[in-house]
Structure 1
């Protein structure tokens, strides 16, 4: 009887071994709450564990778009062209039709409220030519913002095993959206969006009943669970919180409310401290805008060929190459080639490595200079060429490096891709 009494009085080893959580997130997989005024982490739970972002991905899609909008390359009324690939995306979606156009402002609202995947891919293709190009831009920008555990493979958040993030990284991104783009951040408060006779309600239910909520984004896939990033302001206090991996939307929202309710008493009222004091953010400086672009440009695709159908857009929606703020490359005089003018290749072979196709010779030569500048040793002895061809009524220029054997061309292209350059191996023609 004495032994039985002692056994009943002592907690089981399972209870003793259970770690004490730093949050009351319940059955969620990961969470974090950040005080925007002080930069302090008020609560966290598995905040650096890798998770699938689902549609929280669209926060970065919009961050990149806002960069281009601020630079004047795209405006709210710019018409973005819908490709068959964009139209084929899985729901949720606006059911955009191939060949149709959508205003940039409508695409933004579609991402914020409905989380439309076809609109997300349309943005990506109109800015970077392909969704893969755009995903590389997203990943590079994430690294610049200090999101070192995040990798993007698409613009929508649809399932991809290689697309990962953390609660902490999503908090970093939310802070940047709020501070870097105050002129555009208000879109995340949109409760309803009307498009072609239909009215869509924002998936973020905190906007409709949790005091002080001003955004920002929900997400769900089977692999990710139910995700939410929220921004809430009360009495000069401002919290940003992320919840990942909820079992249901309602349970996720309840966990978010509980975290915020517990954190507001700990938050500091007043003006935000200088950016450099925030421990989550590597840099909150406004990103440099992309370089000016010519009107009526078409996409800079490595795969553009006589049989390809380049996507063109209106004058106001000129798409730009997949780079946010590269070091400027000075255009070369017609008839010259980068680094050595008309220097002939020292390597023999009938194959070319193509790194882009453009509608002006200057753009093709600038691309050659950019690639050559970053891969000088790799491309040493291979002549850069801007090869002209006609497609319909448009003169195109293929940016190529010549003088490869087939195996050498394939190896070189593979290494260029690892450097985030799109390329193709082509036989000289």
Structure 2
């Protein structure tokens, strides 16, 4: 191993110890940056440690584009699919071990479907193993000025040690645009067809006109992400004339809220007439837990895996005006306005099965409170949330504790 490689590993390890000592809270953060100059137009908690979720794939793509530029890869090159890649949790293309996928298809799979299996194929091709690839990702992050980012995998699937900030994600977005203009256009792909199946891009703002100046201002990228720990994340970009802006929103309470916020921030950044100056946003109750990666609304939960959940963070919604600090308030422990969620699934029967399994572990609830509740959400694709409702805060905490002790997943929700 070269001396430089050893030094890089030591630096990453030391920085990692510092970052992991910081509290990881799923809290809203945002930044708007000029892509050419790097000047910041708007920011809220830009350096707060967050879970990047599938925004991670931007670095996987950065390293892939780098390999294409230096000739290590070609777009038509076929890459072998390992068992490890094929066994990744959704979102995925459904790749099969022993077969192959082209670099071009793997890239588009990441951009549109946010395919975790394709991410690992690229990682293993470029570095031998996904773990080694994560080391090169973190090293690349340092070269790009991403000082508070650590990568542990190529996909963004839950890992409490994988951390970043809104500012670092904006720097990564800027680097993708600046260093690989030839490949950046792929981020505008709305639909990708692979082996007869069409995959729509999870970024529903693609092609959205957010205003007019000397022509329409259109969003043309970049990447979405979601985990229960992270909330709903989005890195986006739009160009007007010679100016291009980059926006990053993390910790959104849902996709629609996140998208509206991004449109407001970019519109304000471009000076679109009638756009109000953005105010600091309210925070939300969040349970930090290593649950599932949905890469937006395509949610599923890998079964049979035990994960160590990070501490719960409960923050009551509190309004704040621009320039004022968001206040943190203690919630009532007596009102029955709490619930717990033990998963989110693409099929109602899977949600019901999760509820039955979790319900058998809970002893602190009444029979009525243990009644399964499946909440459907989403317009194009229904997502079924497996929940127990009508609890006090104390009951919710105790119930989640019992569920987690049995090796299952659980998050606390207010309302």
**TM-score, structure 1 normalization:** 0.55
2:248 maps to what in 1? 242
Confirm or deny: 8 A CA contact 2:27 2:50 kept in the other structure.
no
> Which residue in 2 is equivalent to 1:113?
112
1:217 to 200, 205, 223: 223
The SS at the match of 1:206 is: coil
Match of 2:55 in 1: 56
Q: Distance in 2 between matches of 1:176 and 1:37?
A: 10
Partner of 1:78: 77
Aligned pair in 2 of structure 1 residues 70, 38: CA closer, same or farther (>3 Å)? closer
Contact 2:207 2:218 in 1 (8 A): no
Check the 8 A contact 1:28/1:255 in 2, yes or no: no
Match of 1:232 in 2: 238
Q: CA deviation at 1:36?
A: 2.3
* CA contact 2:80–2:98 (8 Å) conserved in 1: yes
Which is greater in Rg? 1
Runs of 4+ more than 2 Å apart = 36-39, 208-211
- Other-structure match for 2:258: 252
Answer whether contact 2:58 2:172 (CA < 8 A) is retained: yes
Name the CA distance, whole Å, in 1 between partners of 2:79 and 2:271. 45
In 2: Cα distance, 1:83 partner to 1:106 partner: 16
Cα distance between partner residues in 2 of 1:237 and 1:125: 37
Equivalent residues of 1:136, 1:153 under 8 A apart:
yes
TM-superposition CA deviations, 1:251-295 (whole Å, max 9, x none): 10011011111111299xxxxxxxxxxxxxxxxxxxxxxxxxxxx
Per-residue Cα deviation, 1:208-254 (whole angstroms, up to 9, x for no partner): 42341111100001111100000101233211010000010111001
| Aligned partner (choices 258, 263, 270) of residue 264 of structure 1 | 270
Relative to 1, partners in 2 of residues 1:124 and 1:224: Cα closer, same or farther, differing over 3 Å? same
Is the CA contact 1:52–1:224 (under 8 Å) kept in the aligned structure 2?
A: yes
Q: 1 CA distance for matches of 2:116 and 2:239?
A: 29
Gaps of 5+ in 2: 1-25, 210-216, 274-415
TM-score w.r.t. structure 2 length?
0.57
Q: What SS does the corresponding residue of 2:235 show, helix, strand or coil?
A: strand
Could you list the per-position Cα deviations for residues 134-156 of structure 1 after superposition, in whole angstroms to 9, with x for gaps in the alignment? 00000000001100000000000
Does structure 2 conserve the Cα–Cα contact (< 8 Å) formed by 1:28 and 1:247? no
**Counterparts of 1:77 and 1:37, CA distance in 2:** 31
Kindly provide the CA deviation profile for residues 292-335 of structure 1, in whole angstroms up to 9, marking residues without a partner as x. Answer: xxxxxxxxxxxxxxxxxxxxxxxxxxxxxxxxxxxxxxxxxxxx
* Kept after mapping to 1: 8 A contact 2:208/2:218: no
The DSSP-based 3-state class of the residue aligned with 2:135 is helix
* 1:378-426, Cα deviation, whole Å (9 max, x unpaired): xxxxxxxxxxxxxxxxxxxxxxxxxxxxxxxxxxxxxxxxxxxxxxxxx
Higher relative contact order, structure no. (Cα contacts within 8 Å, ≥ 6 residues apart) = 1
Conservation of the 8 A alpha-carbon contact between 1:28 and 1:243: no
Equivalenced residues, count: 241
Residue 212 of structure 1: SS of its match in structure 2? strand
